[in-house]
Amino acid sequence: MEILSEVGDPNVAVVYIGRTFKGNIVEFVESIPTYNPAEKWVLIVSSLNGCPVGCKMCDAGFFYKGRLSLDELMEQIEYPIQRRWNGKPKTRKFKVQFARMGEPSFNMAVIEAMRLLGERYENFHPSLSTIAPIGTNKFFERLLELKKEMFPTNFQLQFSIHSTNPEQRDEIIPVRKWDFEKIAEYGKAFYDEGGKKITLNFALARENEADANVIAEYFPKEYFLIKITPLNPTVSALKNRLTNDVDLETGLPMKHKKFVDDLRRLGYDVIISVGDTRENLIGSNCGQYILRFLKERPELREAYTFARGFEFRVS
């Protein structure tokens, strides 16, 4: 891996822009959510070179040049391991999220990377965030097999929901994908007693519909939890006129407070995940992609400020 640039604060998060051995330009993130890397250390890696989906709030979908190979996935993981730990992550919880750039289910090499990491590191915790596109059944069959074999209690699987209105969800995630019934069926099969519940993620915009009764209709609380995240400041969110509904100071939704209250009344575990706001300035948060900002350089307040002085050529 040739590192072309790095942006951030090593005590919070660092975004690396690198060139793989095949010549692909990728972004990957090293994050320390607890500020103590010996307790928890997180890598967020790209699965594709770009992304063909084009979600309304995500900056990584402005181009697509294909899948990354297994070795290209591992380069993004091995570089920060070597840099910080000199070969082996000495941390209680070593988490790798396949969530930076690209829908991971489009790349079967993601399965092999998880297997390799599980064999190599006893403290490895896999995490995968997906929209579950139509046509990826083989990927999810193999993912289920791998989870049952190697990671029955420590696999974090997250489905991107964002809206409980199917028509609006199709606008936000503009590709054919599993409906709620299919996600629920797979999630119940994926769950293991004593393991992690399956996460339903809402990057909560004020414009999005969120109805707890729809969640209750499809997703049993015994198997699923709901994660609310702010709509992070991205180029795409600005262009599509989406407005964050989570107060970053209180950590509470504003327009959708009833959604959260209703979910909790119904017995759901609800996580409202507001990280260090410096991650927006770094550009390491979900949906952010520094190369998109450098290409277009919009007027974005409270985002990508660490990269503003960069003179990086974006093709």
Q: What is the pLDDT confidence band of residue 309, given thresholds at 50, 70 and 90?
A: low
Mean pLDDT in residue range 11-17:
87
How much is the pLDDT for 297?
A: 60
Name the percent of the chain lying above pLDDT 70. Answer: 86
How much is the pLDDT for 145?
A: 97
190 within a domain of the structure (yes/no) = yes
| pLDDT higher at 55 or 293 | 55
Q: What is the pLDDT confidence band of residue 262, given thresholds at 50, 70 and 90?
A: very high
20 within a domain of the structure (yes/no) = yes
CA distances to 135, 193, 220, 275 from 237, rounded to whole Å, are 27, 38, 31, 19
- Please give the tally of structural domains in the chain: 1
315 within a domain of the structure (yes/no) = no
CA torsion through residues 146, 118, 4, 24, sign:
negative
- Give the span between the Cα atoms of 253 and 310, in whole angstroms: 34
- Give the span between the Cα atoms of 280 and 302, in whole angstroms: 7
Query: Does residue 100 have a pLDDT over 70?
Result: yes
Name the percent of the chain lying above pLDDT 90. Answer: 58
CB 52 within 8 A of CB 88: no
43 within a domain of the structure (yes/no) = yes
User: What is the average pLDDT value for the chain, to the nearest integer?
Assistant: 87
pLDDT per position as a tens digit, 119-166:
999 999 999 999 999 999 999 999 999 999 999 999 999 999 999 999
How much is the pLDDT for 276?
A: 58
Mean pLDDT in residue range 89-111:
95
pTM: 0.90
How much is the pLDDT for 205?
A: 85
108 within a domain of the structure (yes/no) = yes
7 within a domain of the structure (yes/no) = yes
| pLDDT higher at 238 or 211 | 211
pLDDT per position as a tens digit, 54-85:
888 787 767 788 999 999 999 999 999 999 99
CA torsion through residues 273, 112, 140, 25, sign:
positive
Q: What is the pLDDT confidence band of residue 265, given thresholds at 50, 70 and 90?
A: very high
- Give the span between the Cα atoms of 24 and 30, in whole angstroms: 19
- Give the span between the Cα atoms of 236 and 227, in whole angstroms: 21
pLDDT per position as a tens digit, 224-254:
999 988 777 677 777 778 777 777 777 777 7
Mean pLDDT in residue range 11-29:
89
How much is the pLDDT for 246?
A: 77
HSE at residue 103, side-chain half, CA atoms within 13 A, is 26
314 within a domain of the structure (yes/no) = no
How much is the pLDDT for 303?
A: 54
313 within a domain of the structure (yes/no) = no
Which CATH number do you get for residue 39? 3.20.20.70
Mean pLDDT in residue range 107-114:
98
Full domain range(s) for residue 293: 2-307
pLDDT per position as a tens digit, 172-199:
999 999 999 999 999 999 999 999 999 9
